[in-house]
């Protein structure tokens, strides 16, 4: 996924960015609402992690503005405000989940994965693809009881297909899953990762649609 992290605390922001990146997601981290607005205007995000108290305003107002504009991007609020009234206000403004600081980074990973599954239309983390058993929560793939090891970036590309079965995904859409701002993108990056996935998971699993992109074939 491509994730926007809006958090002004340097220590926490760095820790969250590292955790989400280790989970195989691309993360753009900004520390002000002005930067967040510019980011969402130029980049399609799969998830926003939003602090409520920023140097230039309140994250809750940013969230309300996004929802009023018709933006359905899932949002998880990260805040030190633990009052019930604040949680209710956040959820009523359109947040999908709420984590109170300090929180466990592994719990954050689990919440991110759960929100992603809900928005993909399949809240069940257990998926069958022919002979493959995929666990989106544990981030594992097995064939016949034997585990198939995927790197973080291989998993990021594979997860993009799993979340949108039968959908045609272009190279730019897949590249968004791999890199945050400023990262260099090789012209053949997606071809390389698709080739690796085919070798590990089966050559017939991913179809190439010439000049358009790739599609996960039905089981």
From first to last of its 219 residues, the chain has per-residue pLDDT tens of 889 999 999 999 999 999 998 888 889 999 999 999 999 999 889 899 999 999 999 999 999 999 988 888 999 999 888 788 888 888 889 999 999 999 999 999 999 988 887 876 666 678 888 899 998 877 889 998 899 999 888 888 998 898 887 889 999 888 887 776 556 677 888 999 999 999 999 999 999 999 899 999 876
**Cβ 167 vs Cβ 210: under 8 Å:** no
pLDDT at residue number 167? 87
Look at domain 2-120 and name its CATH class.
alpha beta
Measured in whole angstroms, the distance separating CA 17 from the mean position of its chain's CA atoms is 12
Q: CA 65 to CA 86: how far, in whole Å?
A: 17
Location of each CATH 1.10.10.10 domain in the chain:
126-216
pLDDT at residue number 183? 64
What are 33's two structure tokens?
Answer: 């609402």
Location of each CATH 3.40.50.2300 domain in the chain:
2-120
pLDDT at residue number 126? 81
Q: How far is CA 161 from CA 5, 30, 201, in A?
A: 23, 28, 13
**Cβ 48 vs Cβ 75: under 8 Å:** yes
pLDDT at residue number 125? 74
pLDDT at residue number 90? 87
pLDDT at residue number 38? 96
pLDDT at residue number 136? 80
Q: Where are the alpha helices (DSSP H) in 45-104?
A: 59-68, 84-92
What are 153's two structure tokens?
Answer: 């970036």
The residue among 37, 30, 184, 8 whose CA lies nearest residue 101 is 8
Domain 126-216 is found in CATH 1.10.287.130: no
Q: CA 138 to CA 136: how far, in whole Å?
A: 6
């Amino acid at each position: 996924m491509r994730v926007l992290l809006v958090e002004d605390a340097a220590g926490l922001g760095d820790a969250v960015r590292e955790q989400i990146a280790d989970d195989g997601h691309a993360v753009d981290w900004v520390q002000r609402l002005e930067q967040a607005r510019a980011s969402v205007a130029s980049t399609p995000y799969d998830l926003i992690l939003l602090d409520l108290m920023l140097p230039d305003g309140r994250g809750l107002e940013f969230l309300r503005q996004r929802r009023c504009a018709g933006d359905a991007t899932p949002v998880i609020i990260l805040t030190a405000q633990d009052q019930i009234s604040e949680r209710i206000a956040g959820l009523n403004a359109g947040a999908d989940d709420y984590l109170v600081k300090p929180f466990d980074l592994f719990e954050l990973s689990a919440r991110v994965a759960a929100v992603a599954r809900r928005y993909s239309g399949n809240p069940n983390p257990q998926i069958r693809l022919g002979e493959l058993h995929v666990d989106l929560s544990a981030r594992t793939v097995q064939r016949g009881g034997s585990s198939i090891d995927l790197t973080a970036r291989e998993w990021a590309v594979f997860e993009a297909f799993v979340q949108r079965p039968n959908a045609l995904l272009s190279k730019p859409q897949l590249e968004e899953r791999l890199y945050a701002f400023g990262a260099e993108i090789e012209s053949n990056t997606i071809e390389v990762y698709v080739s690796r996935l085919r070798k590990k998971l089966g050559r017939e699993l991913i179809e190439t649609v010439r000049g358009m992109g790739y599609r996960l074939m039905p089981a």
